[in-house]
Amino acid sequence: MQSPLLFSTLKLGDFDLSHRIVMAPLTRMRAARPGNVPHALNALYYTQRASEGGLLIAEASQIMPQGQGMPATPGIHSDEQEAGWKLVCDGVHARGARIFLQLWHVGRISHHSHQPDGGPPWAPSAIAAEGSAMTANFEREPFAVPRAMSLADIEALKEAYVCAGKRALAAGFDGVEIHSANGYLLEQFMHERSNKREDRYGGSLVNRIRLPLEVAESLAQALTPSKVGIRLSPFGIANDSGDPDPEPLYRTLIQALNRLGLAYLHLIEPRASGAGQREVDHQDVPSACAMFRKDWDRVLITAGNFTAQSAALTVEAGHADAIAFGRYFIANPDLPARIRRGQTFTPYHRPTFYGGGTEGYTDYPAYGFAGS
């Protein structure tokens, strides 16, 4: 039996959650192609992981065709995608759970094979990231030099976020999460290593956090603040990201976001940076949730290599209000029930994380069934 506080109610935006174990947004690359459309298999996957009064955050979904950076990732910019996501939301709601959709633009972490015009992807500045992109054929090629966005591009981007947010609610989502972490476009604007602009979106700290703030404000106005969350990775190094002095940058951003009245702040702990690509557990690193707790008035969710015990301790200490699990939620569709009962976790199988069909996706059993 785990901490009673981990299984106490929590008000998040307009909703009352019955426990504080959240399913983190997880890229799985199983949307139907062409069109990057969610379908019945995706609906089954999410429905399996829905629990009464729980919160799921659906995987990062590109807000516009230019925002895609990996094959078979779902979008939220077409009628077909909206209809596909409705299947997901209907299944999750039938189980009594809530679901938010993570809104995504990968920026320079893309490949020309994903771009509608076959050209370079968008970025704050024409600076290539270190590392390799995943092509439309699941192959790897070095990142190319991106195209620096014009002010008109930036305005189009903000409009695309609002349109995607409205589509998400029309599909049945309870809210949206802005992906401003892990080295993707909004975070690229925040970091000096990827942003060398000389206009109002570059240079000073205030200028570099302007775009994520404007996106958050636009979505809050369009959807109401209670239907908007945001995800940040203050000490992240994924996708050639990172800031030499992240604390003042993120503290200023979080304090500004706090004034918007958003539903929640979702932090990625530094010990988990890069965990999507390999097994990591960075030691002797700061706690993001403990560091920024005082700067945030509403629900704070944190994620990063948590166990049932460390999740309970973090909530009991008041550093976070809820804990998001990723990889363990993949392999344990009934994860909240397992934690509540003190049951063992099924190990995940990393080779089946990205792409494919049912294997490693919808074939993990609940506790007590064959194979668990």
Residues with Cβ < 8 Å from 57, sequence gap 6 or more? 22, 23, 24, 25, 99, 100, 101, 102, 177, 229, 266, 324
* Residue 182 and residue 268 in contact, taking contact as beta carbons nearer than 8 Å: yes
What is the DSSP code string of 133-192? Answer: EE-TTS-EEEPPP-EEPPHHHHHHHHHHHHHHHHHHHHHT-SEEEEEE-TTSHHHHHH-T
Q: Which residues of 213-240 are buried (b: 16+ CB within 10 A; e: fewer)?
A: bbbbbbbbeebebbbbbbbbbbbbbbbb
Asked whether the beta carbons of 78 and 84 are under 8 A apart, the reply is no
Integer Cα distance of 280 and 55 in angstroms: 25
Radius of gyration of the chain (CA): 19
Question: Among residues 184, 201, 328, 364, which one is catalytic?
Answer: 184
Give the residue from 59, 50, 65 showing the smallest Cα distance to 28: 59
Q: CA distances (Å), 232 to each of 43, 173, 177, in order?
A: 27, 21, 10
Whole-angstrom distance, CA of residue 155 vs CA of residue 159: 6
Tokens matching residue 315? 């909530």
Q: What is d(CA 354, CA 278) in angstroms, rounded to the nearest whole number?
A: 13
**Catalytic: 367?**
no
* Strand 15-17 relative to strand 10-12, pairing: antiparallel
Alpha helices, DSSP H, located in 318-367: 327-331, 335-341
Catalytic residue positions, numbered = 184
